[in-house]
Amino acid sequence: MTVPIDYKQASADFDRFMLDLREALDLQTTHQAWGVLLGVFDAFRRRLSAEEVLAFAKALPPLLRAVFVQDWNPTQAKPPFDDRAALDAEVMAYHRDHQLAEPGCIATTAVTVWQHVDVQRLAAALARLPEGARDFWQVEA
């Protein structure tokens, strides 16, 4: 059995994603973009059940999947989905001393994620999640 291509080129794909995210967020380094990505993923993941987290994670490329579940605490209380401004504020507060997220960071991250995933696969995963989860990743057409 051969190694799936998603795994063979995972590092290069992730590097491209991080460069695109850095550019989209208008940041200087991928380290800064990394902090925003962690905040966005945490704000989203905290609002899902364990089954929902795993369904979403399965739709991501391998290294984004790993980032999405890292430091996950499935026993943490699930707050409801809030409006985008409140969720952006939550991301901006994530690791506040090292965070360069700005208003609109979730939307910008969502656009970049959609550019680097199998769109049909992610859309199918989101269709099984609550409305707030789908809205979180909604991008303007």
Question: Residues 22-42: what's their mean pLDDT?
Answer: 97
CATH architecture designation of domain 9-70+79-135: Orthogonal Bundle (1.10)
Tens digit of pLDDT for each residue in 47-70?
Answer: 999 999 999 999 999 999 999 999
CA distances from 65 to 56, 58, 82, 110 (A): 9, 7, 24, 15
Is the pLDDT reported for residue 140 higher than 80?
no
| Domain ranges within the chain, ordered by starting residue | 9-70+79-135
- Prediction pTM value: 0.94
In sequence order, what are the residues at sequence separation of 6 or more whose Cβ sits closer than 8 angstroms to the Cβ of residue 125?
Answer: 55, 56, 58, 59
